[in-house]
Each structure stands twice: as C-alpha cells, then as structure tokens.
Copies of this chain bind each other. A is one copy, B any other.
Amino acid sequence: MLTIDFDDSKPLYEQLYSYIRGEIEKGNIAPGAKLPSKRALSAHLKISVVTVETAYSILAAEGYIYSVPGSGFYAENIPGRSGEQKERPLVLKPEPPKQEYAVDFSTNRADTALFPFSVWAKLSREILSSGGDELLNSCSGKGVYGLRQAIVDYLRSFRGLTVHPQQIVIGAGSEYLTGLLIQLLGRDRCYGVEDPGYVKTHRVFSANCSRVLPIAMDGSGARLDSLTAQGIQVAHITPSHHFPLGTVMPAARRHEILSWACASPDRYIIEDDYDSDFRMYGRPVPTLQSLDRSSRVVYLNTFTKSLAPSMRIGYMVIPPELMERFDSRLGFYACTVPVFEQLILAEFLKRGYFERHVSRLRKLYLSRREHFIKSLEDSPLSGMLEVKSSSGGTHLLLRATNGMSERELVERAAGEGVRVYGLSEYYSFGSNPDESRVIAGYSGMSAQDISRGIAALERAWL
C-alpha cells in the first residue's frame, strides 16, 4: 500500500515512480495489469494529476509501463526481474593496512622537503588565470607541443639526444607507456626483461603480452647470449644504471646490443633511462638512443624520480621509422596526462626550475649517501657487511659476509622496526644466486633517519 510522505525530501512524483516500479519488478503488479487512471490515482492519493502524469511518463519512458491510446497504462512484462534474482551481500575485505616501520629504507620515496611548492603554485596560478581553450580542450594524443619541445631541449642539453618534438609521446607514467609500446610493437612478439630488475616492469609485460622471458645479467649489464639463445625480439633494458644492481653498461656492450637489434628487422630495444638525473659522479653515459642509427631504440623516461612519485608524467622517444606506425595505429588515443599538468611542467622546464631542482636533489642525495656509507664504515656493522654503491641511483646494495641470509637480514631488521628489501624480491623468474644481499634506499630519508636506521640495524644484525 502506497502512502505519500509529504515531508519526504524526495519529490512526490519520484515517490510514486519508485513505488510502482518496485511493485512491477517484484511482480506484485502483474505483466499486462492495468494501472489506475491518472485522475483516480490523484484523487485517491490527494496529489495533483500532473504529479501522477510525471510518474507515469517516466515509467513509460523507462519501459516499465506502456500506454494503450484511449484506454490507459499497463504494466510491461519485465523478463528476469531483478526481484527474482538472489540478492548477494557485498562482502569486502578491508584494504590491508600498510605495515608501519619506524625507519623505511624505501627505494621509491621522494624527499618532500625539497619540492618547489611555491614555484609550482606560481606556475599553476599563471596557467589557470590564462585559462583559455588550450587548457580545457584535448591536446594532441602525443601531448602538448610546448611540453614536447621543452623535453627535446632538456634531452639535448642534459642527455646529448637530438630528437624532434614529433618523436615525443607523453603519457601517464612508464607503466602506461610500456603498455602503449606493446600495442605498437605487437603483443605476440617475444619480450625480454632484465632479471633481476623492476618487478613492476615484468608484471606490465606479463599483463599485456604473451611471451616474456628473463634477460640474464653480468657485470656489463644485459647479456647478449641471453637475448639470442631465447629468441628475444624486444629487450627492455636499463643501460644507464641498472636497478637494483647498479651496473652501468660499458660502451662495448652498448654497441653489441645495438648490433644485435640491427641484425633482424623485428628486433627492438626499449631503453629505460629511469634515473638518469641522479648520476652522482662524472658525466652521464651516452644513451643507446643517441648511438642508434637504425631506428631500433625506443627511449623511455619519467619525471617520477626527479619530481614526485605522485606526478604521473612520463615520455618516450619513438624512432623515426616507427612513427608512422604509431600515428596510424595509436594516434587515436587521447593523451593520458591532464593538459594543466603538462603546461605547468613545460614552464617548469623552460624557465630552468627543473634543472635547479634536480641539481639540489642530486646534492642532497649525494650528501645522504656519503653520510650513509661513512656511518656504515664507522659502525661495527662494517665487520659483516660489504657495501656496494654505484655512480647513480639512490640506494645501496648491502651484502652480508657472515653467512646471514637475506631473509634473516630482512626479518631481523623488521623486528627492530626497520625495513630493508631483500634482493630476491627483484628476481621475477629464476632464483637469486646470492642470497645474502639487501637493498637500502635513502632518497626519502634525512641523515638523522639514516643514523637511527643504522643503530637499529646494529641491534638487529650483530
């Protein structure tokens, strides 16, 4: 029995609509049954005819009732009514709470203290107040041209790359861009990823394509025989600075890998230059992209490490011979980065803020690393640890020499509230050949945090 609640905030026609719809769905009003006339119902419920008319017209528009001209309204036959289906309760597991550590030697935290909030805010204001069509309407699928130009200028000055803005594709982070690349090169090719390496990279390939194989590593980086023996066609590698081993690929291996790519028309290299901004000593290593004369190298980089992990802006440089294929197959995609963010970043690059920011970060990370290494040397831990650092990156590789296993190292540290990361975590395929190594990042940690962490590690490991 319907009663109209005049105090309900819902409009009267909606109360009526909901009631009748519910009755039809439950089968209480049978298919084909005639509904009361508008006039009769309005008199009965003491509401206006217009209200009844509105409810009936919505019910008719949505297909719950139909009208027979000159006769009235009838209930539709609703097959498989939802009322007949069993209502399933929504059972949700709560999202697992993050385990809290007093000290977390994470490898992917940014130092928030240095982020140039005021500059970013100033640029946001400028761009919002310019507020025109460019800001609101879609840009090219490859990204805002001004940002692509700014990236080209940056790459020329700091990475020795000579590329054209048309080769640049901007996207929401390297995971997204990798997915796009797989669509470009074809998901049925045989892909190779470094093992050990970023586990996420492996997972992106696994989620998107049919064959992903491990590329074995040696002291010069990705092993050539590993590529050829397994029939890998597209190799994802990090020649500038391998994560987590820190290897920098020497020139000879670079040229060998390029020759490998040129030896067959279906081979490509994806060069992930993820932390090139944080090379601490010496000159940046020349990229494979800059050595490539055969359009076989796709260069990939992001602003995640140098700006903030929360800012999903990456880019890739497509070699000239793949560009036409990119435009025809994937040119329809809208760019995944908000235009607003792109315009801010373009100005941030053009006016030199980025360069200054990276240079401050680099100095900060260098001082933290020196503090970390020195403190380890001065600590009794030095008796049981080998410390490996490389010319880049923001973490140290620690190897126990007292027979303690990686698992023990990680668990004992956790027992003292400190998080370090076992190297096995970065092996997606085979097993870790040396089970006594852990990684400790320092990019998001103050000198004080590092010292506290080392003190706790002394309690844990000695």
Residues of A that sit less than 8 Å from B by CB: 14, 17, 21, 54, 57-58, 61-64, 76-82, 85-88, 90-95, 108-110, 112, 115, 117, 120-121, 124-125, 128-129, 131-133, 135-140, 164, 166-167, 172-173, 175-176, 179, 183, 187, 199-200, 203-204, 207-208, 220, 248-256, 258-259, 262, 282-283, 285-286, 291-295, 308-313, 320, 323-324, 329-330, 332-341, 391
Please state if B121 and A248 are interface contacts (CB–CB under 8 Å): no
Check A173/B334 contact, CB under 8 A, given A61-B282, A121-B128.
Answer: yes
Shortest Cβ distance from A260 into B: residue: B80
Contact B250 A63 (CB under 8 A): yes
Residues A121 and B110 in contact, CB atoms below 8 Å apart = no
Using A58-B283, A137-B309, A176-B336 as known contacts, say yes or no to A166 and B251 having CB atoms under 8 A apart.
no
A286 to B64, CA, bound (A): 12
Residue of B54, B90, B255 near A82 (CB, 8 A) is: B255
B90 and A164 within 8 A (CB): yes
Q: Report if A78-B128 is in contact (Cβ < 8 Å); known contacts: A310-B139, A336-B336.
A: no
Please list 13 pairs of residues, one from A and one from B, whose beta carbons are closer than 8 Å in the complex, sorted by A's number. A61-B248, A79-B256, A80-B255, A88-B294, A94-B166, A120-B128, A135-B310, A172-B312, A175-B334, A311-B340, A312-B336, A337-B338, A340-B341
Please state if A133 and B112 are interface contacts (CB–CB under 8 Å). Answer: yes
Find chain B residues with CB under 8 A from A311 CB. Answer: 136, 338-340
- Report how far A335 CA is from B173 CA in the complex, Å: 9
Give chain B nearest CB distance to A107 CB in angstroms: 13
Contacts of A117 in B (CB 8 A): 128-129, 131
With contacts A293-B82, A323-B92 taken as known, whether A63 is within 8 angstroms of B131 at the C-beta atoms is: no
Q: Which residues of B contact A77 (CB under 8 A)?
A: 252
Residues from chain B with a CB closer than 8 A to the CB of A176 are: 172, 176, 336
Contacting residue for A282 out of B57, B85, B293, CB 8 A: B57
Q: Are B320 and A175 in contact (CB under 8 A)?
A: no
Q: Are A320 and B90 in contact (CB under 8 A)?
A: yes
A334: which B residues are within 8 A, CB to CB?
173, 175, 309, 312
Known: A115-B131, A129-B121, A166-B92. A312 touches B295 (CB 8 A): no
- Beta-carbon nearest neighbor of A291 in chain B: B82
Q: How far is the CA of A58 from the CA of B251 in the complex (A)?
A: 11
Please give, as numbers and ranges, the residues of chain B lying within 8 Å of A108 by CB-CB distance.
Answer: 138
Chain B: which residue is nearest A142 at the CB level?
Answer: B95
CB distance from A337 to the nearest CB of B (A): 7
Minimal beta-carbon separation of A415 from chain B (angstroms): 25
Chain B residue at minimal CB-CB distance from A136: B308
- Contacting residues, chain B, for A256 (C-beta < 8 A): 79-80
From known contacts A251-B78, A320-B91, infer whether A312 and B337 are also in contact, taking CB-CB under 8 Å.
yes
Determine the residue in chain B with the shortest Cβ distance to A80: B259
Chain B residue, CB-CB nearest to A307: B136
Contact status of A85 and B262, CB under 8 A, knowing A63-B220, A310-B135, A337-B172: yes
* Bound: A131/B86 CA distance, A: 48
Contact between B283 and A14 (Cβ–Cβ < 8 Å)?
yes
Contact residue among B136, B207, B309 (Cβ-Cβ distance under 8 Å from A136): B309
Q: Which residues of B contact A124 (CB under 8 A)?
A: 121, 124-125, 128
The 8 closest A-B pairs by CB, nearest first: A63-B250, A80-B259, A310-B339, A172-B336, A63-B251, A136-B308, A85-B293, A138-B309
